[in-house]
Amino acid sequence: MYDYVIVGAGFFGSVFARRMTDAGSKCLVIEKRSHIAGNCYTDNVDGIHVHQYGPHIFHTNDEGVWNFVNQFARFSRFSYRPKVNFRGRMLSFPINLTTLNQLWGVKTPQEAEQRLAAERVPIDAPANLEEWVLSQVGQEIYETFVYGYTKKQWGREPKELPSSIIRRLPIRLTWNDDYFNDRFCGIPEGGYTQLFKNLLSGIAVETDVDFLSDRDRFESRSKRIVYTGPLDRLFEYQLGAHDWRGLRFERQVIPVSDYQGIAAINYTDAETPYTRCVEHKHFDPVQSDHTVITHEYPADWKVGDEMYYPVNNDQGERLQQRYVDMLPDNYLIGGRLATYRYYDMHQVIASAMHLADKEITRRSGRILQIPKHASPTRR
């Protein structure tokens, strides 16, 4: 009998399994895919670590999370500084003084602020992504960096999307072009798959196992189920399917040592069918006379496709809540798929650590709190 059968070997399931195993629980991790590491999975292609499901840059402000992951990998000092290609013009991104210098020739924070003040569209209460960006930086920046990219990525007009999607990106009036503001940032040397191998070391893991095709057996073998897959699939889409955005990756091995000189270039016009071109060796540098690149094409999504971006509208939120209400008492959920949230890795890890801590407290409480009337019988 297991204490926990954990469905899914991504960050949520693997971190939970590690914490609970270290606390003395018996865990089994099962994974539908043929590999561990979820969408962080990195494969070794001709000596280059390739992020199979899109680039994953680790960043966090949470020292506890940073210390935790550093037990399982050494992190490089990589910091994400993508460039934008807008109709052939190379621009600095996210918006910073270099960008504004390239667009308008401004050279100081004061000049930039003056110019932005003139550009901003006065909108009192921005009601969507488009209005929010216009109110912050005006029409030219919106059209150059945001409109086309966002429309391609989400398959809808930016005025139909919430501003929360883009508010995570900084707008800086300094020369700092770092994508993230976090204190800690890096890429695990040796790739994410190796990090996951270390994280799951000594824990029973079965890949190529679909929980749903043998659910009764797993439920009967475990006190609790930690489910990290999508809830609509768990309940056989009884109330309907969630909506996601998909991605298609086109990978090429190119016989040059450096193709584009940087890890990622975003193509922000609406006409280019892909959103970005990623050159993997820049994440985890190696010397080689070839390189691997991936063009990322946003795609419509249908049931059965890989899930990338949850389309978090009100309807999706309501559906999610109804599925959550249907969960049996012995089920715990977490991670991007099960919670239908556009999470970063560090948020998933923090929530798995938190759930494990709660479980450890609950389990130790149950052992310590022997009810007064239940005096042990001796034979």
Active site members: 168, 172, 245, 276, 296, 342, 344
Give CA 90 to chain center in angstroms. Answer: 27
CB of 295 to ligand UDP, least distance (A): 14
By beta-carbon proximity to ligand UDP, the closer residue of 49 and 336 is 336
Min separation Cβ 336 and ligand UDP, Å: 11
> Which is closer to ligand UDP, CB of 111 or CB of 269?
269
Q: What are the beta bridge partners of residue 86?
A: 89
Min dist CB 342 to ligand UDP, Å, is 7
Residue 226 is given by DSSP the state E
- Contact between residue 168 and residue 346 where contact means Cβ atoms under 8 Å apart: no
Least distance between ligand UDP and beta carbon 325 (Å): 29
What's the longest Cα–Cα distance across the chain?
Answer: 89
Q: What is the DSSP string of 290-326?
A: -EEEEEEEEE---TTSPP-EE---HHHHHHHHHHHHT
**Which residues of the shown chain bind ligand UDP in the complex (CB under 6 A)?**
84, 93, 145-146, 149-150, 153, 165-166, 168-169, 266, 268
Contact 319, 296 (CB under 8 A): no
When the beta carbons of 19 and 280 are compared against ligand UDP, the nearer one is 280
Within the chain, where are the H helices? 11-22, 63-69, 97-104, 109-119, 129-137, 139-141, 147-154, 164-167, 192-199, 215-220, 231-234, 314-325, 335-339, 345-368
Neighbour-count burial of 267, counting CB atoms closer than 10 A to its CB (0-12 exposed, 13-18 middle, 19+ buried): buried
Instruction: Please identify, using beta-carbon distances, which residue of 37 and 247 lies nearer to ligand UDP.
Output: 247
Q: What's the chain's Rg over C-alpha atoms?
A: 23
Nearer to ligand UDP, 162 or 235 (CB): 162
Q: How far is the CB of 167 from ligand UDP (least distance, A)?
A: 9
Distance separating alpha carbons of residues 335 and 347, to the nearest angstrom: 9
